[in-house]
Structure 1
Amino acid sequence: MSTPPNERENDQLPSIPGCDTIIDLATLSKEELEKRVLKLIQVLFPEWAHDVKTLHLTRISGAMTNAVFFVNIPNEDKLVLRVYGVGVEQIIDRENELAWLARLSNVGIGARLLGVFGNGRFEEYLPSRTLNHHDIRDPRTSEGIAACLRELHDIVTIYPFDSTKHHLECWKNIDKWYGVVMSLFPALMKKNAEWFKVLSVYNLERLKLEIEECKKILSMTDSPIVFAHNDTQYGNVLKLEKTGELVVVDFEYAGYNPRAHDLANHFCEWTYDYHSELPAVMNMSRFPTYEEQVHFLKAYLDAPSKHTNRDVVNYAITPEDLQKEVAKWVMAIHVGWGLWGLIQAYNSEIDFDYFLFSMQRLNAFREELVKWKK
């Protein structure tokens, strides 16, 4: 059985089958879940799956927004199943995500979207292994990730940013997520006694003014607008089995952003080991050294790209100067994921200490802001 066809000619998704079925992971046993997924596959892909009688689900660890499974069908191809997390509609724009998946498919990047249902989707399975926190520190692998990001960023030459139609994802999300956090604030204070103590001291009301200060500082930093992934943690980078090629996946947060935002985000992800005993803890001693940053940025600037148009994105810059451009954007990364973490702390059923994650990021934001206000 081959992977279900999914050919697209433009930004639309006309060939993607869909239904309104909801999968409630909180109420289904493993056996019940497998039966529900089997029935769902038969509904979405009837011609392709008419002979499928059984399947086995393997949950992938390290996923922080959705529950992600490999769908293993005896003697057949695998699929990837994503079941959206509770409350993720507050943090993710699905319409924007699906539009970008269509565009990426048009230029041959990423895993193909195969089908959608009420609270999730099926994607193409790429025979590969997911990178880990050791891999991204390896110089050659780091160069490969840099080249992947360069290729993604240069997609802006095909789908240009238009300030009259588009918004920067970073500020759109931060403003939206701050509003959600404040609407959840009373419930957050009541949900956990320790949360109450921490949030009483942090002063989220003052955070709004600090975000505006951050925007003002970064508005004076010239960083070209690109198509950005915005979540380049190692779990979203695959190494293909046959070729060893690196492929970036999971474009839930993708969209237009300054290139420095995406690069700073990747550097921040060096500080996490999502498969450790303390996956939510940010260890700043793991943040790439100046030399490691410059090495990565040199690979980024040197990477050839079939999409490059130097009239759109200026790459006539040294790695050292690009490092200075990137360094300022670290504070925006921290505040964005900090707000995201508070929303997840209230909503998510995934076993992850989102509150700790959030407060570490929000405190790091304030430290960075003080640094750049000088």
Structure 2
Amino acid sequence: MSSPASSQHSNDGLPSIPGCDTIIDLAVLKGEALKAKVLKLVQVLFPEWAEGVESIQIDRVSGALTNAVFFVNAPNKSRLLLRVYGNGVDQIIDRENELSWLARLSSLNIGPSLLGVFGNGRFEQYLPSTTLTHEDMCTPETSQRIASCLRELHDIVTVYPFDPTKDHLEVWSNIEKWYKVVMTLLPNLMKKSDGWAKILKVYNLERLPFQIEECKKILQKVDSPIVFAHNDTQYGNVLQLENTNELVVVDFEYAGYNPRGFDLANHMCEWAYNYHSEQPAAMNMSLFPTYEEQIRFLKAYLETPSKFDNPAINGVTPESLQKECTMWLMASHLSWGLWGLIQANQSEIDFDYFLFSTQRLNAFREEFAKWSS
């Protein structure tokens, strides 16, 4: 039985949203049982929407690497988007931070609105749209439009400024947190297969803390302003709206304050992945944007008018920004490499997280060797 809905208040005096502590266990609930459970949940959170609704249709949307995403439909009702969090992702994602940012973005009319939350998931506004493909993301026009989207997100830092006394940079916070988790999971990972055990011994993860500290020292010398960063702008997180063709970035699980160079470099890394190919977890560096493609993307980023009058762009050239991004690549590789090992241990999604992780850790060490020398 779902508990009564309560109002979940966010910081900054933002509007409250309905919430309850119901858990949806996708390992147990299938078919009609899942529909019945979701209908009860909807009745608790959105009684007006549920009025007169006797049954719902649920359609799963593929493509998410940490969540199960569903469309919830009922006759004469607006479609809802239901997101059920994956097993163990609380080791990876700070939900309180994510929900706080979603509320702020809603107040700025950026992205889909957060409608309600429950024990292991949430409901969001459904935006009639199509999700970009890898090919879409890499076309010149779309790439430049993604650059403009990122500029808009980054400039939110002028509305919600970074406060070093209470805020943290996601990149270093995640790397520190995820490394600790990986080391607790290491014995388990070694037992999963002899092949994994051999590779993990070669990686010698015990020496990573030294490399992380050196990486920090190198990147502290890079002048890269702190922005509000999405931190996961892969093509599956960019929608094209049906009515206006406008691009909208969604899924803010990893969002927060970060250096500009990290977020831009992180997006460039996503060019090397096609999650709908025969090898979805494999990083194909032949797809990584060329220097010319990077400059075109960064030129569009710099030329996008700031909605929030962000002065941090003054005096920056596409070429200087490209150098900034290039140096931050190693931090992107490191963070996702650690993320992949955690997922390899716990995720039930059919994706080769171990391959993903080892390729990213290899790329980190290659970049680290380049800059530390």
1:94-143, Cα deviation, whole Å (9 max, x unpaired): 11111111111111101101111110000000000011100111111111
Residue 359, structure 1, aligned to residue 355, structure 2? no
Residue 298, structure 1, aligned to residue 302, structure 2? no
Structure 2 matches for 1:17-166, cutoff 5 A?
Answer: 17-166=18-167
Structure 2 matches for 1:206-221, cutoff 5 A?
Answer: 206-221=207-222
Judged with a 3 Å threshold, the aligned counterparts in structure 2 of structure 1 residues 278 and 104 are, in CA distance, closer, same or farther, namely same
Quote the residue 1:373 is aligned against: 372
Contact 1:11 1:100 in 2 (8 A): no
Quote the residue 2:339 is aligned against: 340
1:304-327, Cα deviation, whole Å (9 max, x unpaired): 1211231xx233211011100110
Matches of 1:305 and 1:175, distance apart in 2: 33
> Percent identity between the aligned chains?
71
Quote the residue 2:250 is aligned against: 249
CA drift of 1:15 comes to 2.9
Quote the residue 1:308 is aligned against: 309
**TM-score (normalised: structure 1):** 0.95
CA drift of 1:10 comes to 6.4
CA drift of 1:192 comes to 2.5
Matches of 1:9 and 1:21, distance apart in 2: 20
* RMSD across aligned positions (CA): 1.6
Matches of 1:145 and 1:337, distance apart in 2: 21
Matches of 1:341 and 1:20, distance apart in 2: 29
CA drift of 1:14 comes to 4.9
Residue 182, structure 1, aligned to residue 183, structure 2? yes
Matches of 1:298 and 1:198, distance apart in 2: 41
| 2:326 counterpart letter in structure 1 | A
| 2:350 counterpart letter in structure 1 | D
Contact 1:12 1:99 in 2 (8 A): no
Contact 1:132 1:234 in 2 (8 A): yes
Contact 2:226 2:259 in 1 (8 A): yes
Matches of 1:11 and 1:72, distance apart in 2: 33
Matches of 2:90 and 2:10, distance apart in 1: 28
Matches of 1:194 and 1:84, distance apart in 2: 30
Moved more, 233-242 or 75-84: 75-84
Contact 1:10 1:106 in 2 (8 A): no
Contact 1:70 1:80 in 2 (8 A): yes
Contact 1:11 1:102 in 2 (8 A): no
Contiguous gaps of at least 5 residues in structure 1? 1-5
Contact 1:236 1:248 in 2 (8 A): yes
Judged with a 3 Å threshold, the aligned counterparts in structure 2 of structure 1 residues 192 and 75 are, in CA distance, closer, same or farther, namely farther
Whose RCO is larger (CA < 8 A, sep 6+)? 1
Which aligned segments of 4 or more residues in structure 1 are displaced greater than 4 angstroms?
none
